[in-house]
Amino acid sequence: MSAATIDRPARRRLGVGAAIVLVLAVAAVSVLIGVIRSAGVPDAAGEQVVAPSGAAELPPVYVHVFGAVQHPGLYRLDEGARVVDVIAAAGGLTPEADETAVNLARRVTDGEQLRLPAVGEAPPADGAAAGGAGSAGGVASDGRVNLNTADVAALDTLPRIGPAIAERIIQWREANGAFTSVDDLLAVPGIGEKMLASIRDLVTV
């Protein structure tokens, strides 16, 4: 038997061992590359959005709706809700409802009483609900001007309140809901402390 024949099994074992070592090295490199990629590039699909633990929740508002709605009653809504949201919560309008009689875009206020009239009924005074029934022509029985029901003409009777500021008062009322205090007038553009002081005793909510 020759020396070449004797060394052939040893060479075969050496070749198999080298191949195994090469495969293991390639696998280790692949794993290392995968770890580096996962650490350097975040997986967008795995991202989570966590709300701040201290985030404040908006306070709810309670509205009593009745009249031409499917389910009259007291409803709890989110702050910033509008008349259309109250109607939706009450199951929608009835077939005889006069949907043009109210401002669907007006924001409601906490404690408001909202009446949806039927066709042919007198519509509610715009914005009048938070404190009770509206007064005729926007003037209360004691002669004061009701900020929640007054029109431009009624507001224009107040000292230092012209048609322009009267319009702003009504626009504020339509955008923010009924006045809950006479002091709310300070939020109306053009009304300051001095003007408010001059009309405070002449208006009501």
**96 and 119 in contact (C-beta within 8 Å)?**
yes
Q: Check residue 139 and report its DSSP letter.
A: B
Q: How far apart are CA 78 and CA 146, in angstroms?
A: 27
pLDDT at residue 123, rounded to an integer = 66
Task: Please tell me whether residues 108 and 145 are part of one structural domain.
Answer: no
Compute the average pLDDT of residues 65-85.
90
Which domain CATH number covers 147?
Answer: 1.10.150.280
> Each residue of 154-172: pLDDT tens digit?
888 888 888 899 999 999 9
pLDDT at 47 over 50: no
pLDDT at residue 14, rounded to an integer = 52
Task: Please tell me whether residues 75 and 110 are part of one structural domain.
Answer: yes
| Structural domain range at position 107 | 60-116
Task: Please tell me whether residues 112 and 144 are part of one structural domain.
Answer: no
Residue 143 inside a domain? The answer is yes
> Each residue of 141-150: pLDDT tens digit?
567 888 988 8
pLDDT at residue 100, rounded to an integer = 84
**150 and 127 in contact (C-beta within 8 Å)?**
no
> Each residue of 80-115: pLDDT tens digit?
899 999 999 999 999 999 888 888 888 888 778 888
Q: Which residue, among 154, 180, 183, 182, has the nearest Cα to 167 in the 3D structure?
A: 154
Angle at 189 between CA 183 and CA 169, to 5 degrees: 65
Task: Please tell me whether residues 195 and 154 are part of one structural domain.
Answer: yes
Task: Please tell me whether residues 112 and 145 are part of one structural domain.
Answer: no
**127 and 174 in contact (C-beta within 8 Å)?**
yes
pLDDT at residue 53, rounded to an integer = 45
Q: How many distinct structural domains can be found in the chain? A: 2
Residue 155 inside a domain? The answer is yes
Q: How far apart are CA 63 and CA 116, in angstroms?
A: 13
Residue 185 inside a domain? The answer is yes
Residue 146 inside a domain? The answer is yes
Task: Please tell me whether residues 104 and 150 are part of one structural domain.
Answer: no
Rg of the chain on CA atoms, in Å: 37
pLDDT at residue 27, rounded to an integer = 62
pLDDT at residue 139, rounded to an integer = 60
